[in-house]
């Protein structure tokens, strides 16, 4: 029966040249911390995490056809799990009031650590939570959405509503989330007593992003990936062939949320804070833009777009506060003239030349 889907979608093959370029890029980026300053290392670390987040969206939008604005939510849930761990392991001397209870909880009248936050003081629980909390939340909403056979623009609307609702909820629960400010002034990352310096954190992030790319490529080149692309192109036909479409959607939706959660968890020790701003629709829209400009269903495209646009933003902010306008113009150009995205267009160009 799996063979029947071949007529609906064909397997995509990563061009050899692109694979070589990716390998060379990895080596170059691995040695960058030894060459550039701390600011660029920190910036590149953040952009690599954004790239991994964009890949997680590419799995559900580029390959499965599910446009989501909620991946910022999954990113932030993973971030809060790690932020609690780092905040709770800040020394009593490092806290504003000289006690073990986080400052924002003291400000809001809490006298003891809530039971559902207390386990996050231990790294194994925090590491598991940064994956399971976003993945579990995604599974729950995905089960209701996809089992109800909601599709198309209605899924997008639901993800927008989820993003807006959770932003309001996190801001209102100031005693537990830090409110608008979020969780700030956290400790540096320490794993089982070993402090992780900036370069070490960069290499961890680079390895994570690389594993996400390689794992996603392997998944999308498998029979499972073939079915995902077939669902995107003709969901009804795949259902008629006997596949449980909802199960496939729920799985890839949950997997992508877990990846986004890890990205959020690594973001916190890098930037030393997390706040509800990453829950908001604006950040979710940024992730969509990275995938659109880089090229849907290319995997490497969203990573490249996140890095390039992040650098554009970094330099544009020095000139004007309206840097979003520049990104908007780039998106407009891509949508009108390069609908396959930057990498998607390059890949098609190589493919057409090879046929000649």
Strand bridging mode 190-191 / 194-195: antiparallel
Task: Give the model's pLDDT for residue 15.
Answer: 57
* pLDDT value for 74: 98
Contacts of 103 (CB under 8 A, 6+ apart): 95, 96, 97, 185
Instruction: Give the model confidence (pLDDT) of 201-211 as tens digits.
Output: 999 999 999 99
> If pLDDT is split at 50, 70 and 90, which confidence band does 3 have?
very low
Q: For residues 305 and 341, is the Cβ–Cβ distance under 8 A? A: yes
Contact 334, 292 (CB under 8 A): yes
Question: Percentage of the chain with pLDDT > 70?
Answer: 88
Cα within 13 Å of Cα(264), Cβ side: 37
Helix (H) or strand (E) holding 140: helix 123-147
Exposed, middle or buried, 313 (CB in 10 Å: 0-12/13-18/19+)? middle
CB 209, CB 48: distance < 8 Å: yes
- Give the length of the chain: 356
Task: Answer whether residue 5 shows pLDDT above 50.
Answer: no
Tell me what pLDDT residue 13 has. 47
For 271-320, the pLDDT digits (tens) are 999 999 999 999 999 999 999 999 999 998 999 999 988 888 877 777 76
- Alpha carbons 291 and 302: distance in angstroms, whole number: 5
More confident residue, 354 or 46: 46
pLDDT tier for residue 11 given thresholds of 50, 70 and 90:
very low
* % of the chain with per-residue pLDDT over 90: 63
Sign (positive/negative) of CA torsion 216, 221, 222, 226? positive
Distance CA 142, CA 291 (A): 21
Segment 224-243 shows an average pLDDT of: 92
Higher pLDDT residue, 56 or 2?
A: 56
Q: What is the pLDDT of residues 99-115, one digit of tens each?
A: 678 888 988 888 889 99
**pLDDT computed for residue 338 by the predictor:** 80
Residue partners of 23: CB distance under 8 A and separation at least 6: none
Higher local confidence (pLDDT), 219 or 8? 219
- Tell me the backbone φ, ψ of residue 149, rounded to 5 degrees: 60, 30
pTM: 0.91
Residue 235 or 350, more confident? 235
Q: pLDDT for 118-156, tens place per residue?
A: 999 999 999 999 999 999 999 999 999 999 988 889 999
What's the rounded Cα separation, in Å, for the pair 123 and 114?
A: 17
Give residue-wise pLDDT tens across range 55-64. Answer: 999 999 999 9
């Amino acid at each position: 029966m799996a063979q029947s889907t071949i007529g609906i979608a064909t397997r995509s093959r990563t061009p050899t040249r692109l694979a070589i370029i990716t390998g060379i890029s990895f080596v170059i980026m691995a040695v960058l911390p030894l060459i550039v300053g701390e600011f660029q290392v920190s910036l590149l670390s953040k952009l690599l995490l954004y790239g991994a987040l964009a890949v997680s969206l590419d799995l559900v939008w580029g390959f499965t056809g599910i446009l989501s604005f909620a991946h910022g939510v999954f990113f932030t849930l993973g971030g809060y799990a790690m932020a609690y761990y780092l905040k709770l392991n800040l020394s009593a001397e490092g806290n504003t009031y000289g006690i073990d209870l986080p400052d924002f909880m003291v400000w809001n009248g809490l006298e003891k650590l809530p039971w559902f936050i207390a386990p996050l003081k231990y790294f194994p629980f925090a590491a598991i939570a940064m994956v399971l909390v976003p993945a579990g939340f995604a599974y729950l909403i995905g089960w209701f959405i996809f089992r109800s056979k909601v599709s198309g623009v209605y899924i997008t609307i639901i993800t927008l509503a989820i993003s807006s609702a959770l932003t309001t909820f996190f801001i209102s629960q100031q005693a537990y989330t830090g409110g608008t400010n979020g969780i700030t002034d956290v400790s540096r990352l320490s794993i089982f007593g070993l402090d992780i310096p900036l370069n070490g954190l960069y290499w961890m992030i680079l390895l994570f992003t690389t594993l996400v790319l390689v794992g996603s490529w392997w998944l999308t080149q498998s029979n499972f990936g073939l079915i995902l692309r077939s669902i995107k192109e003709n969901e009804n036909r795949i259902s008629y062939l006997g596949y449980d479409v909802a199960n496939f959607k729920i799985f890839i939706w949950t997997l992508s949320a877990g990846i986004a959660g890890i990205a959020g968890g690594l973001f916190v020790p890098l930037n030393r804070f997390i706040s509800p701003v990453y829950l908001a629709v604006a950040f979710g829209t940024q992730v969509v833009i990275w995938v659109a400009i880089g090229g849907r269903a290319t995997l490497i495209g969203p990573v490249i777009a996140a890095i390039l646009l992040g650098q554009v933003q970094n330099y544009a902010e020095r000139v004007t506060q309206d840097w979003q306008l520049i990104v908007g113009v780039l998106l407009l150009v891509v949508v009108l003239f390069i609908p396959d995205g930057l990498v998607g267009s390059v890949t098609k160009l190589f493919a057409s030349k090879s046929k000649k």
